[in-house]
Amino acid sequence: MAELEHNYDEDSIRSLEPREHIRLRPGMYIGKLGDGSSADDGIYILVKEVIDNSIDEHVMGFGKTIEVKISDHKVQVRDYGRGIPLGKVIDCVSKINTGGKYDSKAFQKSVGLNGVGTKAVNALSSYFRIQSVRDGKMKAAEFERGVLVEDLEVQETTQRNGTLTTFTPDDTIFKNFQFNPDYLENQIWNYVYLNAGLTINFNGKKFYSENGLLDLLRNKADEESMRYPIIHLKGEDIELAMTHGNEYGEEYYSFVNGQYTTMGGTHLAAFREAVVRTVRDFYKKDYDATDIRGSIIGAISIRVQEPVFESQTKTKLGSIEMGPDGPAVRAYINDFVKEHLDNYLHKNPETAEALRKRIEQSERERKDMAGVKKLANQRAKKANLHNRKLRDCRLHFNEDKHENAAVSTLFITEGDSASGSITKSRNVDTEAVFSLRGKPLNCFGLKKKVVYENEEFNLLQHALNIEEGLEGLRYNRVVIATDADVDGMHIRLLMLTFFLQFFPDLVRNGHVYILETPLFRVRNKKETIYCYNETEKQEAIQKLGRNPEITRFKGLGEISPDEFGKFIGENIKLKPVILQKDTTIQKMLSYYMGKNTPDRQQFIIDNLKIEKDIVEEVYA
């Protein structure tokens, strides 16, 4: 056996320029890349990094309006703050560790403090333009993939002070990317909820909030299902809002310095602890923490100097101090909640009584379910989950943080043939398959104990590890993969009902997707084209010329494993399941899954295709 030569000498050592490092290791700066189908994909981080700078100007008291325009692949952000000092415009967007946020007097409580954000955007954009206006003068510069291509001279202008940033993400890094308007609107709404008096005009639509987190919860929660009016408390550098509803699980929105911390952190943990402690003290009863927090809908926002995040994407707050002489964040939040929530409950006895009833209802439901839950968990162990229903991936999960879950996917499939095709073609390191047996139960209106009584649901929740919440979620993406026929659509609807009914946080936090697979294969001897709709099919027929072979896929099992690998790998097409701002889960489920109301009958009649159309679509 020949020896392998690995020379380790001076020539093995390489120094990278910051721009090169960002492009070589983009994940270190913006998290995962993605194509825009997930809310935490890199293209949205690029948008966020630019808007964050404009928000910081507003927080410092400069500029009440931000203009955001996003069309196809181009992004423009214009603020009316102070503008970048003209002599430093190029440095601020191209040199790492350059910026005004190192001077705490210029930016007291900023989102980003490490001088990386816009430099990463610049390096990862095929086109990037920065323009700054200060006191009648304008300076602009243009870059391509982080390289300066045009340094424009300072010129006179009548424009208002501020900064205009324009960029196009590099499609060699963000392959086949597309901005999802729903994700962008959620980003914009969060900015205005957290910044009173700020107006953001996004693609001609005005976003504004007068009441901060109170408005956020009003838009996120179903007013009819609230057990009591939203409690809204504000203090210096802290704001929180909370209520209880009728849905299962806990729902939180947490922010630091205007940054949406999707992974929570110290501040959210402190909020959850403080609510439990305060409630127990107020009622003088040792309620179980899960009963107190069951069905809670809460939001917390804090502002701190020099926040410490656990990653460059700033989705989780680490353990930090409020300031050089201030108390730790956890203690600060605990003290605030203990004083102000306790005062509120004393002053509002009707709210206090409604909260007590909600807690005791959760307590009764938990005790009623205890026996069923114990038996179900025993059955799940006996079922030998990993061999029977779940073909898991090879990732070794960290028991505490589940760090590898961020890059893993679970496909939920129907039938042996579909499961077999995906299983043979998947990436065994990061992609797992859970096989359904026939149609799942319609669980609308049922109590949560059905999750334990129904073997398939019980095994699925164990596979996902979401029995006690999302903290232990084993897969970042949960993909419903069903056939493109009536039965497949029905199974998809039943699975969505299951998640929305019992685990709505899984959907709200952007973890549930629908797998889009091609409906047609059009090919001749030289080329094969896969088409996802009728329009693409017609275009393929025209491109390939006379009499190409056309195959209509009705079931996933009809697609060979070799072909399937092309659709669940780099070119995977996923449709995220997104709850609109004004969507009420219970009303939606009642409409689609409840009794056959006249409104739903009329909806079906209005949207029903005639038989001729169906035949043409299936057999064309």
How far apart, in Å, are the Cα atoms of 19 and each of 24, 79, 120, 391?
A: 9, 26, 8, 41
Distance from C-alpha of 574 to C-alpha of 480, rounded to nearest angstrom: 10
Using one digit for the tens of pLDDT, what is the confidence trace for 192-204?
999 888 999 999 9
With bands split at pLDDT 50, 70 and 90, how would you rate the model's confidence at 412?
very high
| 368/278: higher pLDDT | 278
With beta carbons less than 8 A apart as the criterion, state whether 507 and 500 touch: yes
* Averaged pLDDT, 52-64: 89
Using one digit for the tens of pLDDT, what is the confidence trace for 305-329?
766 655 545 455 565 554 433 457 8
Side chain identity at residue 603, one-letter code? F
Check residue 8 and give its pLDDT.
52
Class of domain 383-517+554-583: alpha beta
Choose among 347, 237, 226, 208: nearest CA to 298: 226
Strand, helix or coil for residue 553: coil
* Averaged pLDDT, 32-45: 87
How far apart, in Å, are the Cα atoms of 457 and each of 155, 441, 494, 607?
A: 66, 9, 11, 32
- Residue carrying structure tokens 């920065």: 130
Beta-carbon contacts of 576 under 8 Å, excluding residues fewer than 6 positions away, are: 37, 38, 39, 180, 183, 510, 512, 513
Check residue 384 and give its pLDDT.
53
pTM of the predicted structure, to 2 decimals:
0.78
Percent of the chain with pLDDT over 70: 84
How far apart, in Å, are the Cα atoms of 140 and each of 55, 125, 143, 189, 294?
A: 21, 17, 10, 30, 53
The domain locations on the chain are 18-208, 213-367, 383-517+554-583, 520-552
With beta carbons less than 8 A apart as the criterion, state whether 329 and 320 touch: yes
Class of domain 213-367: alpha beta
| 436/554: higher pLDDT | 436
Kind of pairing, strands 74-79 and 162-169?
Answer: antiparallel
With beta carbons less than 8 A apart as the criterion, state whether 263 and 368 touch: no
Check residue 104 and give its pLDDT.
44
Q: Enter the tokens of residue 149.
A: 């291509």
DSSP structure class, residue 616: H
**Average pLDDT, rounded, for the chain:** 83
- 472-476: long-range contacts, CB 8 A cutoff, minimum separation 24: 472/402, 473/402, 473/405, 473/506, 473/511, 474/397, 474/402, 474/405, 474/408, 474/410, 475/405, 475/408, 475/409, 475/410, 475/432, 475/511, 476/405, 476/406, 476/407, 476/408, 476/409, 476/511
Distance from C-alpha of 399 to C-alpha of 472, rounded to nearest angstrom: 8
Check residue 18 and give its pLDDT.
76
* Averaged pLDDT, 425-451: 89
Lowest mean pLDDT across 46-60, 214-228, 310-324, 387-401: 310-324
Residue 242 clears pLDDT 70, i.e. is over it:
yes
Superfamily of 18-208 according to CATH:
Histidine kinase-like ATPase, C-terminal domain (3.30.565.10)
With bands split at pLDDT 50, 70 and 90, how would you rate the model's confidence at 15?
low
Distance from C-alpha of 90 to C-alpha of 93, rounded to nearest angstrom: 6
Q: Enter the tokens of residue 301.
A: 């926002």
Check residue 406 and give its pLDDT.
67
